[in-house]
Structure 1
Amino acid sequence: MPTHAAASSVTVHLLRHGQVHNPDRIVYGRLPEFHLSDLGHAMAREAAGALAQRSENGSRLVYLASSPLTRTLETAAPVAEELGLRIHPDERLIEPSNHFEGLHVDRSQLGRVSHWPYMLNPLRPSWGEPYRRQAARMAEAVLDAGRRAVEAGGDGAEAVLVSHQLPIWMARRSAEGKFLPHDPRSRQCNLASLTSLVFDDIHAGLRPRVIYSEPAAHLYPGVNQLPGS
C-alpha cells in the first residue's frame, strides 16, 4: 500500500524592514547602502523581541532568511542575535525593480514625457517587476523556508523571512486568493510588521491562514512612509 507523509504544520513569518534613513524621500528600490535610521533599528529590535518572546513561549523558530539589501539585513541582525540563527540571504525576497528608482517622485516628475510609457498599465505594473512575478518568487521562498523549518525543527516549526512591503503584500494577497493589482494605500504591511502565514500542512498545497501584527506600532506616530519601500 502507498504511504503518505505525515502532515507538517509550519508558520512562516514575513518581517518587513524598519524605517530607512531617507531624508530626500527618493524611491531607493534596490540601491545599495540605504541603512536603517535610528528609529528603524529600534523597530527591528522590537520585532526581534516579539519573535524571541514566541520562542520563550515554546515556538521553535529555526530558520532565518533575508533579502540581500542593506535595510533588510540590518533588520534581520537583531532577530539572528535573539534567536541564535544564521541569516541566509535570499534574492527571492528582494525589493521589486522600479523605473523610478533613485528619483523623488512628485507631480513634476510624473509630468515628464519620458516616464509616460512606464505608467500605461498600473495593473501589471508597467513601471517595474510584474505583480505575478513577485508573488511567484515570494511563494517559492515561503514554501522553501517552510520545508527547511520542518526539516530542522519538525512539525510546528517556524521560519522568519525579512523582506519589503510590496513583496510581502503580494505574498499575502496571493495566499488569500485575492487579485494582485491594488491601491497602495490599502496595504496592511507597516514598518517592522509581521505577516505570519500559518500552514496546517506545508506539503498539502492548501492556502495558509494569515495573522498580522505590529510589534513596533508604538514607534509609528510621526513617521512618514513611502508606499512600497
Structure 2
Amino acid sequence: MSRVTVHLLRHGEVFNPEGVLYGRLPEFHLSERGRAMADLVAGHFKALADGGAAPVYLVSSPLARAQETAQPTAVALGLEIVTDPRIIEAENHFEGMKVSKAELLKPRHWPYLANPLRPSWGEPYAAQAERMLAAARDARRRACELGGDGAQAIMVSHQLPIWATRRSAEGRRLWHDPRHRECTLASLTSLTFDADDVVGVSYSEPAAVLLPGAATTPGA
C-alpha cells in the first residue's frame, strides 16, 4: 500500500494585544513574529523539496491566520492553497473573551463548565478529531494521486483540533490538560498513513527559534 505523510501545521503567532480567546472570529491576522514563523516553515518545506521530498498538496483552514501561514509555503513550493472548512478552529463558548479565573466564576458560565471531559464549553473533542481525520484522509488520497508512494501533504489548522487528532491517532483519551499540549505555534504534527490507516505520528518545531517570547493565549 502507498505511504503518505500528512503534516498538520499549526498557524503562527497572531496579533492579539487584548489577549482574547479569538476562536473562529474573523480578522485575527498574524503578527510580525507570526509572519516570520510562516517564512521559517516555508523554508523547512523548501529544504524538503530540494532534497526530493516536496509536499504536493496544501490545505488550509478558512481563517485568516491559517491562510496567512500557508501563503509563504504555497509560494515556496508553487502550490495552490485549497481551503477546507473541516479543519477550522473548534467552537468555544468563551470566544472573544479574556479567559481568567474571575471570568470563569461568573454564574452565567457555569452551565458550560459542567463536563470538562466532553467539553461542555465547546465542540466535543471527538467531533474535532473525526472531522480532522476525515480531512487528513482526503488530503492523503489527493497527495497520493499527485505524488504516488511517499507523497506528502500539508494541512494548516489550529492547536486544539490538531491536538485532539493526534491523541485520537495515538489511541489516547481525548480529554486533557490544555497546559500540556505539545503543539506550539507553527509546529508540525505529522501523520504517516498506510492507505487510510495512521501508522505513525511525529512532531517537530521548524520555527522553534521564534518561540521564546511568543504569545501563549490559551486555545490560540
Common topology (TM > 0.5): yes
**Distance in 1 (alpha carbons) for counterparts of 2:140 and 2:219:** 25
Q: Give the aligned partner of residue 76 of structure 2.
A: 82
Q: CA deviation at 1:210?
A: 1.1
Q: Give the aligned partner of residue 140 of structure 2.
A: 146
Q: For the Cα contact (< 8 Å) 2:46–2:54, is it kept in 1?
A: no
Q: Give the aligned partner of residue 35 of structure 1.
A: 29
**Distance in 2 (alpha carbons) for counterparts of 1:227 and 1:8:** 37
**Distance in 1 (alpha carbons) for counterparts of 2:213 and 2:80:** 33
Identify unmatched segments of 5+ residues in structure 1. Answer: 1-6
- What are the within-5 Å matches in structure 2 for residues 1-229 of structure 1? 7-199=1-193, 201-203=194-196, 205=197, 207-229=198-220
- Supply the AA of the counterpart residue of 2:18: D
Q: For the Cα contact (< 8 Å) 1:60–1:153, is it kept in 2?
A: no
SS in 2 for 1:197: strand
**Distance in 2 (alpha carbons) for counterparts of 1:170 and 1:107:** 24
SS in 2 for 1:61: coil
Report the aligned-residue RMSD. 0.9
Aligned residues: 220
**Distance in 2 (alpha carbons) for counterparts of 1:119 and 1:127:** 6
- Supply the AA of the counterpart residue of 2:195: I
The structure with the largest alpha-carbon Rg is 1
Show structure 1 runs of 4+ deviating over 4 A.
none
Question: TM-score of the superposition, structure 2-length normalised?
Answer: 0.98
Between the two proteins, what is the percent identity of the paired residues? 60
Q: Give the aligned partner of residue 4 of structure 1.
A: none
**Distance in 2 (alpha carbons) for counterparts of 1:217 and 1:198:** 22
Question: TM-score of the superposition, structure 1-length normalised?
Answer: 0.94
